Structures are given as C-alpha cells and as structure tokens.
A and B are shown apart, each in its own frame.
Chain A
Amino acid sequence: MFEAFIQGLIMILTWKSMLYLCIGVVLGFAVGILPGLGGGTTLALMLPFIYKMTPGEAFCFLLGMHSVVQTAGDITSILFGIPGEAATVAMIVDGYPMSKRGEAGRALGAGLSASLVGVIIGALVLLFSIPIVRPLVLSLGSPEMLMVVLLGLTCISSLSGQGKRALLLGLMSAGFGFICSLIGQDRQAGILRFTFGQLYLWNGLPLVPVMVGFFALPEIIDLAVRGTSIAGDLPEGKLTAGVWDGVKDTFRHFGMTVRCALIGVFIGILPGLGGGVAQWLSYAHAKQSAKTPEEMAGFGRGDVRGVIGPGASTGKEGGALIPTVAFGIPGSSAMAILLGAFFIMGIVPGPDMLTKYLPLTFSFVWILIIANIITVAASFFIMGYMAKLTLIRGSIMIAFILFLCFIGAYAESNSIGDVVVMLLFGWLGYLMVIYDFPRAPFLLAFILGKMVETYYYISATRYGFDWLYRPKVVIIFALVILAGAYPFIQNKLRFRKGGVS
C-alpha cells in the first residue's frame, strides 16, 4: 500500500500533470472568486477538455480546480461580502465586518491558512480511510452495491431539500434521472429504448452536454436576471497589512481549526449536504468556543474565529472523495460531475479504485494538498488583482459562459445533436431550479442509471428474490429507511423541543 501511495505522488510529479494541476488551480481560483460561476458548473464545462489526457493528468486538472474553489470563494466573501460560491456564505458573517474595520488582510490570512489546514486534514482522513474502506468494499456483491447506491440516492434526496415534501421531490428527481438513463441500447437484451429512430441516441444521452446544460444555463439566466456586474458598485476591500497576524490566529486556535476541519470531513462524507452546510456547522462550532457572553456577542461583528471556523470546513473535499471513490456515490453535485469524469476516463468507481487504480486514488490525496498549497501561497501575492475580476460586467460573463457551453457540448462528439441536448437539459435544469426540484438526485441517478440496472439485473437473475434477505442487504435497507425518515424524525424532535420551551 505504501508503494501505491508513493506511485500516486510520482504520477502527479510529471511535468504534464503539474502543468494541468497549475492550469486547474488558476481556473478554480478565478471561478471561486466569480460569484456568477459555480464550481460544479466549471467542472462540467471543463469535462470536454480531458478526453486527450491520461487519468492522472485529468484528475490533476479537475480535482486541482475543484479543490481550490472554496478557498478562493472565501476571498470575495471577506472583501466584498459577496460569496464567491454558495458554500462560502458563512465566511461573510465575520469576514466582511473585519474588512470594513480595515482588517481585510488579517481576515484573509486567517481564512486562507485555516482553509489550507482543513484541506490537509481532509486529505489525511481520505488517506487513512482507504485501508479501512478497502476490505469493506471488496466484500460487497451486486445486491449490496445496489442497496448502497439506493442509500446514497435516498440520502441525497432527503438532505438536498427542506420542508415536508423535500424527500418526495428528491426521489422524483432521482426517478426522472433513471428514466433519462434508460435511453439508448439496453445492455442485457440489446433492445433500443426510446431512441425514436435516431442513431444519435443509440449510445444513450451524452453525459457532458447534459451536465453542461443542466448546470451552466440556469446560472447564465441568473446573471441575465440580475442584470448587473458581478460585484456591482461595491468598493474593493482594503488589502492592508495583517496577513501574517491572521495566519498566527489560525495556529493560536489550532484545536478549534482541527475540529472544524473534521466537521467538514464528516459533512463531506454524507451525500447531499454540500459545502454550505459544512461551513455553517463549522461556524456554529467556532461560535460555541466563545467562553463568555461578551465573546459570544463579538461573533458577527468581526471575530477572527468566525473566519477560521468556516475556512477550515474545506476538510469536506477529502471527505466527499471517500464515498465517491469507494462506492461510486458522490457526496455533492460537483462530486457527481467528477464521477462523470471517471466514466469518461473508462474507470468505474468502486472496488477497482482500491485495487487496480490504487495509485490513482492515492494521487487524489497529493492533488488536494499540493493544489491548495499552491493556491494559498499564490493568494497572498495576487489576491488584489484577482479580486478585480468580480468587476467584470454580467453581459461579458454571459457571452463567454454561453460560448463555453456551446463549444463544450459540441466537442463531446462533434455533433449538433449534443448542442440540442445541452439546450434541452439547460431548460430542464432551469425549470427544476425555479420549481424547487433538487438537481443532485437527478444527476446522480442519470450517471449511475446503467450501473444500477446492471446490479439490479444480476441480483434478480442470479438470486431471484433471495437477494432481498441477504443480511448486508437488510442492514443497508434499514439505513435507507432511516435516511428517508430522518428529516421527519428531526422535525418531530424540533417541534417537541419548541413545544416544551
């Protein structure tokens, strides 16, 4: 195993991999500080570029890009009070007041260094979880894998929404995702399903145009509706001295930083919760660390711990990779898109990642660490210049994103059909966003549809109905029920508590 760990490092230390890693980091940084463009969207837009890369290079590019988005997103949250990413909102609460007080440098120093500590802890958890997860995954057969996927889908469906009907809407989205995955020639009997006489649809709906349309077009519409430049007319934050004081603050509160990073890891492992929840929980924990009412009152007015806590939640990146790599269950939309990259590279996540592709899996640990070291080091030098990107006018952003959407969709297989698919799924994505249907369950079901069908078919034909009584299947099914019931139980408990108080 140690050999594979070193091979993982060697894999990314080639000049090509490092070049792609640096390009990914630069893109991720730019995307992170641009509120109009999400990390998931950019991952989807960049998928067409990985076709000619080796798996090592492709993941250096994509994972390097993705892992720095939140770190960079924290910069605009602190400087302008505008979250670069949906996941960096909690950083505003104390980061922006610090900027207004002229302590932008200290806030940035604390936020960025906490973010680096968080990522490193997340990567280490990923590293040490591999030997534990490996025997577990290898002991699972098709029926168990089917139930694990269902568990992931139920978790995502129940946790990706709020309210009484969130689970229902999530499961409907997943059902529709499965239906879309049916299109094309079926693997078992060779029957053409819903191809409508089109040769183009024989291989099913193409992954890249679906994801590009699904994520990028709603964001373009949002930019158009806002009708402004990204940062509006807000003044640029002062980047005065104090950066090193912020770094020292992180190490002064090192215990809290580590705990917040571990909260991030835990949230990352749970499918569907995402970075926003990780940041808010970490913020809440940081706030709990206040010892007196006066200290508590300082939160929200520029307490540096309120910056360190959310910053350290980047541990979620390592955590989210654990279920993605080991079980093929992505922890978030961005991880679902990354899962698409696995399939494009011809790699099926799951047992293979822990045997045949073990060095590649270990390379993820290195990519997370190296990409974030580069980002944090570079941030200290160029943050002022990069922040100016937020002043780009909305119309210019729309033109470029739209261009990338069309070209990205077309480059998948040089077919106008891909562009049509991208537009149709862009429209569907927009409808889902405005009518509160969560997109993550749809995407996950669409990506995993063929794999689930194979597991289901093998389980049904090989074991008949007996597979339903296998002990591991029963246990995982109980977890599925629990995951589905969890929001209701939580609501009941909250209601009861409210009633008592």
Chain B
Amino acid sequence: MNIAGRTWMSITLMLISGGVFINALQWPVKAAIFPMTIAVFTFVLAAIEAFLGLHLKQNDKETSTMDFKVASAEDLDIDEATVRKRVLGIFFWIFVFFALILLVGFSVAVPLFFVIFLKIYGKEKWTLTIILAAVAWAFFYGLFIWLLHLPFEDGWIMDGLRALGIFS
C-alpha cells in the first residue's frame, strides 16, 4: 500500500503524542495536567488526519499552506529524479559541513568547507573560491573570536592528538 508522506507524519505524531500521554501518567498531577491535555488533543487530530489519509482514495491536493514552498519538479520543468538528487545532494553537503565541524572545529571547518563546497558543488574558479573562503573566515574570526570572545571547540582530531601527547 502506498502511504503518502503526510499520513506517515500523522502516524508518527500519533505515536509521539501517545508516548507523551503514557509518560505523563507517571508524573505528579502538577507536571502532568498540561502534557496529558495536549497529548490527547494532538493524538485525536493526528488520528483523524491519518484516517483520512489512509481511507481517501486520492491524496488531498486541495489543502495547502500559505507558507514558503520548496520548488518542485513541475515548477522547474525538470524530472522528479533530478529534484530528489539535488535534495539528497544538499543534505550530503550539510552533513559534510557538520562532520568537518566535529572533526576539525569551526576555525578550520569554515574555510575548508567553503573551498571544497565552492570548488566541487559550485564549480567556481580558484581565485573566487579562495577569496570567499577568506571572507567567511575573516567574518567568523573577527566577529566571534576577536570581538565576542566566544570559545570554539578544536574538534575531535585535535582533541585526539592532544590525548596522544602530540599537541599540548
């Protein structure tokens, strides 16, 4: 059976609100009264939406939000596979930036990410890539370290090297 994404989200929300209610049973009334009310309310609404999603033959295309919309294949006149590839691609790059921050810390990750992202993803020229990486690093260093004195972690690699006694 092909279940639409919105229905999956509703089922997930049912499970979450059910979990909230069960947990709240163990708390004193003071702490439980609001979570229980909200959990029941959300569970019922999510159940209605899930029921409608599962039992209506076609997905409800009429309902839409007056919110910002991510461009679709239809809007851009491209195929779904390309859209999916681009979405997965950008998720990959977000993960790369996060992994770099964990491994080498912000001060190295920022210029490094700019260089690899602009070079590989953006296919920019070396000159522009290096200038933009330098601008980003200068902004980061100037504002957050020099001006605001915020402490930034050095990353797992540096921590590991310190633990091995290679760096003090």
* B62 part of interface (Cβ distance < 8 Å): yes
Inter-subunit contact A178/B65 (CB<8 Å) = no
Task: Give the CA-CA distance A402 to B16 in the complex, in Å.
Answer: 30
Partner of A416, one of B37, B41, B87, B102: B102
A435-B6, A437-B6 known; A399+B132 contact, CB < 8 A: yes
Task: Give the CA-CA distance A411 to B151 in the complex, in Å.
Answer: 9
Inter-subunit contact B118/A191 (CB<8 Å) = no
Q: Besides the contacts A403-B110, A435-B5, what 20 more A-B pairs have beta carbons closer than 8 Å?
A: A163-B63, A165-B60, A186-B27, A191-B31, A194-B23, A219-B68, A222-B68, A225-B71, A225-B86, A225-B90, A277-B66, A396-B118, A398-B117, A399-B113, A403-B140, A407-B140, A407-B144, A419-B98, A434-B70, A436-B63
In the assembled complex, how far is the CB of residue A69 from the closest CB belonging to chain B, in whole angstroms? 14
Most buried by B among A193, A219, A224, A432: A224
Most buried by A among B35, B49, B106, B113: B35
Chain B residues whose CB sits within 8 angstroms of the CB of A159 once the complex forms: 66
Task: Give the CA-CA distance A300 to B121 in the complex, in Å.
Answer: 40
Q: Interface with B: A22-30, A96-104, A166-174, which one? A: A166-174
Q: Interface with B: A73-81, A115-123, A452-460, which one? A: A452-460
A178-B42, A393-B122 known; A398+B30 contact, CB < 8 A: no
* B167 part of interface (Cβ distance < 8 Å): no
Partner of A406, one of B62, B91, B101: B101
A-B contact pairs, 29 of them (CB 8 A): A161-B64, A163-B60, A163-B62, A166-B64, A168-B48, A175-B13, A175-B46, A179-B39, A182-B34, A186-B31, A191-B31, A193-B31, A220-B90, A221-B90, A224-B89, A225-B71, A225-B90, A395-B122, A398-B121, A399-B136, A403-B140, A406-B106, A419-B101, A423-B94, A435-B6, A436-B63, A439-B65, A456-B34, A460-B33
Chain B, 107-149, CB within 8 A of any chain A CB: 110, 113-114, 117-118, 121-124, 132, 136, 140, 144, 148
Chain B residues whose CB sits within 8 angstroms of the CB of A52 once the complex forms: 148
Inter-subunit contact B90/A179 (CB<8 Å) = no
Task: Give the CA-CA distance A166 to B68 in the complex, in Å.
Answer: 15
Inter-subunit contact B136/A172 (CB<8 Å) = no
Task: Give the CA-CA distance A276 to B68 in the complex, in Å.
Answer: 11
A191-B27, A430-B70, A435-B9 known; A402+B97 contact, CB < 8 A: yes
* B52 part of interface (Cβ distance < 8 Å): yes
A163-B64, A189-B30 known; A403+B49 contact, CB < 8 A: no
Chain A residues whose CB sits within 8 angstroms of the CB of B13 once the complex forms: 172, 175-176
Chain A residues whose CB sits within 8 angstroms of the CB of B34 once the complex forms: 182, 452-453, 456-457
A-binding residues in B (CB < 8 A): 4-6, 9-10, 13, 16-17, 20, 23, 27-28, 30-31, 33-35, 37-39, 41-42, 45-46, 48-49, 52, 60, 62-71, 76, 83, 86-87, 89-91, 93-94, 97-98, 101-102, 106, 110, 113-114, 117-118, 121-124, 132, 136, 140, 144, 148, 150-153
* A59 part of interface (Cβ distance < 8 Å): no
Partner of A165, one of B27, B35, B49, B150: B49
A160-B67, A227-B86, A407-B106 known; A176+B114 contact, CB < 8 A: no
Partner of A171, one of B45, B71, B110, B144: B45
Inter-subunit contact A438/B65 (CB<8 Å) = yes
Inter-subunit contact A179/B16 (CB<8 Å) = yes
Chain B residues whose CB sits within 8 angstroms of the CB of A252 once the complex forms: none
Chain A residues whose CB sits within 8 angstroms of the CB of B17 once the complex forms: 175, 179
Chain A residues whose CB sits within 8 angstroms of the CB of B45 once the complex forms: 168, 171-172, 175
SS class, residues of chain A in contact with chain B? helix
Task: Give the CA-CA distance A220 to B33 in the complex, in Å.
Answer: 39
Inter-subunit contact A402/B94 (CB<8 Å) = yes
For B52, give the chain A residue with the smallest CB separation: A165
In the assembled complex, how far is the CB of residue A11 from the closest CB belonging to chain B, in whole angstroms? 24
Inter-subunit contact B49/A168 (CB<8 Å) = yes
Partner of A221, one of B30, B38, B87: B87
For B19, give the chain A residue with the smallest CB separation: A194
Inter-subunit contact A433/B70 (CB<8 Å) = yes
Task: Give the CA-CA distance A435 to B9 in the complex, in Å.
Answer: 9
A169-B63, A179-B16, A182-B35 known; A398+B90 contact, CB < 8 A: yes
Inter-subunit contact B70/A221 (CB<8 Å) = yes
For B45, give the chain A residue with the smallest CB separation: A172
Chain A, 365-398, CB within 8 A of any chain B CB: 393, 395-396, 398
Inter-subunit contact A176/B121 (CB<8 Å) = no
Task: Give the CA-CA distance A162 to B69 in the complex, in Å.
Answer: 14
For A398, give the chain B residue with the smallest CB separation: B90
Task: Give the CA-CA distance A164 to B71 in the complex, in Å.
Answer: 23
In the assembled complex, how far is the CB of residue B129 from the closest CB belonging to chain A, in whole angstroms? 10
Task: Give the CA-CA distance A171 to B39 in the complex, in Å.
Answer: 12
Inter-subunit contact A456/B124 (CB<8 Å) = no
Task: Give the CA-CA distance A220 to B93 in the complex, in Å.
Answer: 11
* A218 part of interface (Cβ distance < 8 Å): yes
Chain B residues whose CB sits within 8 angstroms of the CB of A434 once the complex forms: 5, 70
Task: Give the CA-CA distance A169 to B49 in the complex, in Å.
Answer: 8
* A400 part of interface (Cβ distance < 8 Å): yes
Chain A residues whose CB sits within 8 angstroms of the CB of B90 once the complex forms: 220-221, 224-225, 398
Inter-subunit contact B89/A437 (CB<8 Å) = no
Q: When A and B form their complex, which 7 residue pairs have the shortest distance between CB atoms, in order from nearest?
A: A395-B122, A175-B42, A163-B63, A224-B90, A163-B62, A189-B31, A188-B30
Chain A residues whose CB sits within 8 angstroms of the CB of B48 once the complex forms: 168
Chain A, 271-311, CB within 8 A of any chain B CB: 273-274, 276-277
Inter-subunit contact A276/B66 (CB<8 Å) = yes
Chain B residues whose CB sits within 8 angstroms of the CB of A436 once the complex forms: 6, 63-65
